[in-house]
Structure 1
Amino acid sequence: MQKSIIIAGKKSGLLVLLALASCTSSVQAPQAQETQATVAQKQEEPNPLLKEWTGPYGGVPAFDKMNLADLKPAMEKAMAMNLAEIEAIANSPQPATFENTIEEMERAGKELNRVFTYYGIWGSNVSTPAFREVQAEMAPKISEFNSKISQNEKLFQRIKTVYDNAQKNPLPADQQRVVELVYKGFEMEGANLSPEKKQRYAEINKELSSLYTNFSNNILADEENYVVYFTKDQLGGLPESFVKAAAKAAADRGKPGQYAVTNTRSSMDQFLTYSDERALREKVWKNYYSRADNNDASDNKQNIVDILKLRKERVQLMGYDNYAQWRLQDRMAKTPEAAMDLMMAVWPAAIARAKEEVADMQKVANKTSKTKITIQPWDYRYYAEKVRQEKYDLNSDEVKQYLELGNLTDAIFFTAGELFNFKFTPVPEGSVPVFHEDVKVWEVTDKTTGQHIGLWYLDPFARQGKRSGAWATTYRAHTTFDGKKTVLSSNNSNFVKPAPGEPVLVSWDDAETFFHEFGHALHFLASNVKYPTLNSGVRDYTEFQSQLLERWLSTDKVINQFLKHYKTGEPMPKELVAKIEKASTFNQGFATTEFLGSALMDMHFHLADPNGMDPAKFEKETLTKLGMPKEIVMRHRSPHFGHVFSGEGYATGYYGYLWADVLTSDAAEAFAEAPGGFYDAEVAARLVKYLFAPRNSMDPADAYRKFRGRDAKIDALMRDRGFPVPKPQSRK
């Protein structure tokens, strides 16, 4: 079901959850009366998590009022309220119309939307063992709630009536799109099934919800529990900034005087790139890539099998052969065959390049290593860095001196100003509640008119209880349906927090990721749709906008104005810029292969028969058949592949990053070919008009054609990565 219809839904009305309180019998009468009055007042107060958002900027989440004790009752109350609204729509005595059915659904569930904002923060940013208990209890209840809506026969018949009528007499374009998305969402969730099959469908969803929660929490447990500590005599090769951050990480964990590599990508990646301690590199690598794969209480292999079995059974209820067929029908790829064709068009070039990279690294290792070694996965980043220095005279740590987080933040604001005419102004500290002291907030306005567009929250640093990786989300999306709603968007990263007074210096890859996630935020902020459902996304398309924004990091204007040495303030030297450009396709074998390894495994898992499957054996055998180089592992190994097994957003959809990158490379060439380059006003206007503002109000393929004048071609992607461009097939 469309999440924007149910979980991120809309509501009307307000019911209060009575607070429980008691007064003691030892107080004097007047005090007792006052206490009873206080109790009555408390009983009339609604749960803080249900309350309408108040304050400036159209109202903001009350993150300062978050109390875990309020979460479960708030969710239960909000779901009950939303179900009551849905029942009222389903049982309306009036003939079904767009206004009394679809619009009322768009309007319903506002309390629930607010509660799920807090739930998402607890789940992703400030998780605790106590929250995970609530999460485990609520996951099946949320699934049951969703099923009560998606399987409401009366509701679906009203939706179908509106849909059928719209096929005969089309509605205005945006309304037509909403009807089609809502109808398709219900249809994909089994609304046309028999009562018996609907019951089993709901049971499967309930079981899956618990498995997803368990899968995710197992990963988090291993990220928190597997930390590598090392000592002063083991600092060889490590940059000063990392050493200081590692010392702080160890001190924070009760080991002052030592150093810590936490089990997150940002920490692992830096250590494997620079540390001269090969044995420690192996330990750090094994910790990271064996998350949830240690044959203990946090092991996820059985969860994988159970999830795959249930997914296959569920889609077979609707007549599909496999999960991928069902999942991809509303994506740009449409079929698993199309997705596989794209991946396999790139795969041979990627692994061929990876073999060349390994050969280069082995030569360096043979010359520099004190003992004879054969390149292993924990050596790849380390020796790739040595090759980078030898081939291109490019030192990643030297590049980092010019990639300070504050300057990068200014750079993304500049890019947003040039392309979208947005201005970002810091919100006075304390004027907007935040859920952690690290979070900062900016107001977004139109540079020309000063019109308020929304807020942007940034939560930049890794910490215990925060899931790894980088992501973007919205607390409130733009709509003009029931009065204009402005955007509350956020970006979340896991940069290693520096020692006090030290700068946050990041790698080029991390800087690109920062731009990438900000691209998602701009997609939210640029939205110009009327109905909430139109803010939903097509997974293999919505990554395109964010991947495209990465390209502005390497533009002259950003480099010259914002990539400044953190000590001297001097801009990045032209010689260093030239080295970066020369090395732009360096290590693309590794980057493409580790990604495609994950994307191909995602698809193969869902096309295979899960009965009797051993996930570890299946992963190994499948990658061997594909010719995966032994020196590279999947970017996300199966037991911690949260994209695919912690939920359904990316399941059989991880390929979408590559699909989106075809669009990205092609669109980037449109800018490169324009008179004004990446800041060409005409191309930028088309970018905003067709690729950002419409969100899901038009078919993505049509939107791209309006921007580019044609469909995207794979050629630009291959050129970008330094791979051979496929020759056109001759027609006989």
Structure 2
Amino acid sequence: MAAQTDTQPAPVDLPGDGDWLAWVSQRCRDQLEEAQQQVGLVKAGSSDAPVVLVAWNKAETAIANAEAVALWAEVHPDSAVRDLADDLSQQVQKYVTELGLDRDLYAVFDRLATSSDLSVLDADGRRVLEHTLRDFRRAGVDRDDATRDRLRALSERSVKLSQDFGRNIRDDVRSIRVAPERLAGLPEDYRAAHAPDEDGLVTITTDYPDLVPFITFGSDAEARHELALAQNNVAWPANDQVLQDLLAVRRETAELLGYDSWPDYDTEVKMIGNGQAVADFIDRVGEAAKERAGDEVGVLLERKRVDDPSADAVATYDSRYYSELVRREQYDVDGQVVRTYFPFEQVRQGLLDVTGRLFGLGWTPVAREDAGTWHDEVASYDVDLDGTRIGRIHLDLHPREGKFKHAAQFDMVKGIAGEQLPEGVLVCNFNRGLMEHDEVVTLFHEFGHLVHHVLAGQGQWARFSGVATEWDFVEAPSQMLEEWAWDADVLATFARNEAGETIPADLVAAMRRAEHFGKGLYAVQQMSYAARSYWFHAGPHDDLTSYGDELQRRYSVFPPLDGAHMHCAFGHLDGYSSGYYTYMWSLVIAKDLYSAFDADDLFAADVALAYRDKVLAMGGREDAADLVADFLGRPYSFDSWAAWLAE
């Protein structure tokens, strides 16, 4: 870990029940003004590399603070604040684009790199300079005036399209209305929470707390079909054209910058290196998992034929339901029994206890009136290490109207030693009552990003603060933390039912055995998503629905859902663009990282703290491959992932 300063800064002073419109606006504008002032100092032309880089670091810190306004577009309950945040985000990104195309600013860094004595810089400082020059080149600063003007226009267009794409998903909650008897198979607490209306019908929405239990436990196949169709048509048809426009903007941007394709541009700064390597990786994983996936879908089909002897295929909306039945009947794992051990409040506290013990962290609750948060359900905690506060986190974990619909960690503040504490926000959409175990796993996963953000927010450089590694590595630490949600000893610390009984070790063992079923299905379905992400960006396609269905047939064992347009609701096509392969790429590395831990003692301090300090706390100070090699004592390999797939 980086050394702590004697005086730690205070968290951001949020307005709580005050005037959020004024606060958001002022916060963003103040940070932009600070950035402009510091950029002015950089452009003053000092030949002293440390002086220039300190001013640039302050500018990048202020820009990151201004960019964090995008958070409020995703979580604030007031639509006026969300709209303001979108407008301000456009202004911030316009300014960032202008900086990237500013030849005078670029000339300062170019002179430093070519004519200054860089021995006065440490390794981190030289890395900042190297990455800054790379970013200027990738922005197109060295192109002619007409090209730079076009790149500027494309960037502004891209920001607006991305916002439209996300907003259409966020605001489009769909639903079905069914007779109460069509809730057969659902847990008692679920049915109790979904009472019939005055027409005698029950409304089931596409929000996760409604959706996930329904498609997992609901025995009415047609009702599952109806809900799956609704969920796969969120933001259709609006996002179809939005996505086409966004893809066109990205293709033209890459072409103007001299790349063969957007994936080639996108992967230049990732571990994988180039676009063709993504295509090869997708095919490699798909081929490795193909046989296992075929066997597993055969098991599901055999079980489906018990209910429907004429069945000749397993649909996507069948997969969770029949996987649950197979686990119950063949592995003695009943998901409805398992969920009784995971009341939300217990899980949240258990997660804090587990990660605190693992990484040597303390989590101190902060009352809402002190944290000043945006909603009553947001839980805030100060994070301490060895008695020193090193950050603050905010957990916004339940759905509401107008809120981000999936699960992600958002930066509120990038940590800079002695200047500002790292603050992160975990945004999820979990049930307020009992959680499915896969939701527990998701919570551990997403919390991993939050831990990474805080631990890596103790250094000097904004460029390397938080989850600042290559984008195809960022999921690996979170995927590895999922392992703690599968360990019997770990779960025994917080998983208890209403009677106070701890989850039995033999049930957890059965859950682990059952978890092995479906790994092939998971891998090939992930590759069908990754293929959409890659091939949609690799070239133009007139009909994204039809082409997406073709890729589904090529990579997955589940046929496309007739009448569905899932690409419109596939939010990762914005944030991850052509890089959805990242999830499986990171999983390969995560399995290798986990191999260093003792499965019989997951809290062993030597390995846990080495991992904390050599990987998480480093942020982006070194290439991810080097961080992993430093921790493992060797380069990462596919071996652990291949062994996991074969289990």
TM-score (norm 2): 0.91
Post-superposition CA distance 1:322-375 (Å, at most 9, x none): 011111111111112223322222112434333323322222222234986753
Alpha-carbon shift at residue 619 of structure 1 (Å): 1.6
Is residue 189 from structure 1 mapped to residue 120 from structure 2 by the alignment?
A: no
2: CA distance, partners of 1:182 / 1:347: 37
Q: 5+ unaligned residues in a row in structure 1: which ranges? A: 1-54, 498-503, 724-732
Alpha-carbon offset, residue 72 of structure 1: 5.4
Match for residue 269 of structure 2?
Answer: 330
Mapped to 1, the partners of 2:79 and 2:199 lie a distance apart of 25
Shift in Å at residue 178 of structure 1?
1.5
Task: Work out the CA distance in 2 between the residues paired with 1:256 and 1:114.
Answer: 50
1:266 to 1:677, Cα distance in 2 relative to 1, 3 A: same
Are the counterparts in 1 of residues 495 and 503 from structure 2 also a CA contact under 8 Å?
Answer: yes
- What is the RMSD computed on CA atoms of the aligned residues? 2.8
- 1:319-398 to 2 correspondence within 5 Å? 319-369=258-308, 374-398=313-337
Q: Answer yes or no: is the 8 Å Cα contact 2:363–2:381 preserved in 1.
A: yes
Structure 1 position 84, deviation (Å): 4.5
| Counterpart residue identity of residue 175, structure 1 | G
1:461 match: 398
Paired AA for residue 246 in structure 1 = H
1:104 pairs with 2:55: yes
Partner residue in 2 for 1:417: 356
Partner of residue 603, structure 1: 534
Cα offset for 1:63? 3.9
Given that 2:93 and 2:159 are in contact with CA atoms closer than 8 Å, whether structure 1 keeps it comes out as yes
- Aligned residue for 2:611? 687
- State which of 484, 508, 521 in structure 2 corresponds to 1:552: 484
Code of the aligned partner of 1:493: C
CA drift of 1:244 comes to 3.4
Equivalence for 1:713: 637
Which residue is 1:621 aligned to?
Answer: 550
Per-residue CA deviation, residues 243-263 of structure 1 (Å, 9 max, x unaligned), is 23434xx88xxx797533221
* Aligned counterpart in structure 2 of residue 658 of structure 1, from 575, 580, 584: 584
Q: Using the alignment, how far apart are the partners of 2:565 and 2:639 within structure 1?
A: 27
Residue equivalent to 1:31: none
Q: Which amino acid aligns with 1:391?
A: Q
Question: Could you say which residue in structure 1 is the equivalent of 2:516?
Answer: 585
* Match of residue 4 from structure 2: none
Q: Is the 8 A contact 1:690 1:707 kept in 2?
A: yes
Which of 431, 439, 445 is matched with 1:516 structurally?
A: 445
Question: Hey, what does 2:421 align to over in structure 1?
Answer: 486
Residue 540 of structure 1 aligns to a residue whose secondary structure is coil
- CA apart distance, 1:140: 4.5
Q: Cα distance 1:350–1:110, how it changes in 2: closer, same or farther (>3 A)?
A: closer
CA contact (8 A) 1:236 1:277 kept: yes
* Contact 2:67–2:92, Cα closer than 8 Å, also in 1: no
Q: Which moved more, 1:68-77 or 1:635-644?
A: 68-77
Secondary structure of 2:234's aligned partner: coil
**Structure 1 position 232 matched with structure 2 position 180:** yes
The residue identity in structure 1 corresponding to 2:205 is T
- The 3-state SS of whatever aligns with 1:479 is coil
Distance 2:241 2:415 in 1: 41
Task: Decide which of 561, 572, 580 is 1:643's aligned counterpart.
Answer: 572
Output the CA distance in 2 between the equivalents of 1:86 and 1:314: 26
1:613 positional shift: 2.1
**1:531 to partner: Cα distance:** 1.2
Aligned to 1:216: 166
Post-superposition shift, 1:220?
2.1
Q: Residues 110 and 203 of structure 1: is their aligned pair in 2 closer, same or farther, counting only changes over 3 Å?
A: same
CA distance in 2, matches of 1:167, 1:614: 55
Give the letter aligned to residue 164 of structure 2. N
1:259 aligns with 2:202: yes
Instruction: Please name the residue that 1:530 is paired with.
Output: 460
Structure 2 residue matching 1:575: 3-state secondary structure: helix
Q: Which amino acid aligns with 1:602?
A: S
Q: Is the 8 A contact 2:531 2:551 kept in 1?
A: no
Cross-structure match for 2:5 = none
What's the offset of the Cα at 1:423? Answer: 1.3
Q: CA shift at 1:425, angstroms?
A: 2.1
Post-superposition Cα deviations, 1:13-39, rounded to whole Å, max 9, x if no partner, equal: xxxxxxxxxxxxxxxxxxxxxxxxxxx
Quote the residue 2:252 is aligned against: 313
In the TM superposition, residue 606 of structure 1 has moved relative to its aligned partner by: 1.6
Give CA deviations for 1:143-193 in whole Å, capped at 9, x if unaligned.
422222111111111122223357964720111121122222222111221
Q: Which residue in 2 is equivalent to 1:473?
A: 410
SS at match of 2:622: coil
Amino acid at match of 1:367: V
1:437 aligned residue: 376
Paired amino acid for 2:463: T
1:652 Cα deviation after fit: 1.7
SS of match in other structure, 1:430: helix
2:62 and 2:199 mapped to 1: Cα distance?
46
User: Which secondary structure state, in structure 1, belongs to the residue aligned with residue 289 of structure 2?
Assistant: helix
Q: CA deviation at 1:627?
A: 5.9
> Following the alignment from structure 1 to structure 2, what is the Cα–Cα distance between the partners of residues 228 and 627?
27
| Corresponding position of 1:697 | 621
* Alignment check: 8 A CA contact 2:97 2:152 kept: yes
Q: Is the 8 A contact 1:597 1:628 kept in 2?
A: no
1:400 alignment partner in structure 2: 339
Equivalent pair of 2:476/2:586 in contact (CA under 8 Å)? yes
SS in 2 for 1:431: helix
After superposition, the Cα gap between the structure-2 partners of 1:518 and 1:66, relative to the gap in structure 1 and judged at 3 Å, is: farther
Q: 1:414 Cα shift?
A: 2.4
CA distance in 2, matches of 1:163, 1:306: 38
Partner of 2:222: 279
Report whether the alignment pairs 1:562 with 2:513: no
Alignment partners' CA distance in 1, 2:481 and 2:114 = 40
2:288 paired with 1:288: no
Distance 1:370-1:146 versus aligned 2 partners, 3 A rule: same
Q: More displaced, 485-494 or 101-110?
A: 101-110
Alignment check: 8 A CA contact 2:178 2:202 kept = yes
Q: 1:533 to 1:139 in 2, by over 3 A?
A: closer
> For 2:397, what is the secondary structure of its paired residue?
strand
Gaps in structure 2 of 5+ consecutive residues: 1-7
> Structure 1 residues 309 and 169 mapped into 2: Cα distance closer, same or farther (>3 Å)?
same
Q: Is 1:123 equivalent to 2:73 in the alignment?
A: yes
Distance in 1, matches of 2:556 and 2:463, equals: 42
Partner of 1:574: 505
Provide the C-alpha distance between the structure 2 equivalents of 1:141 and 1:574, rounded to a whole number of angstroms: 54
Q: What is the DSSP-based 3-state SS (H/G/I as helix, E as strand, rest coil) of the residue aligned with 2:423?
A: strand
Q: What whole-Å deviation, never above 9, does each CA across 1:575-594 have from its counterpart, x for those lacking one?
A: 21221121121122332222
| Distance (Å, rounded) in 2 between the aligned partners of 1:99 and 1:63 | 39
Give the drift of 1:237: 0.6
Count, aligned residues = 637
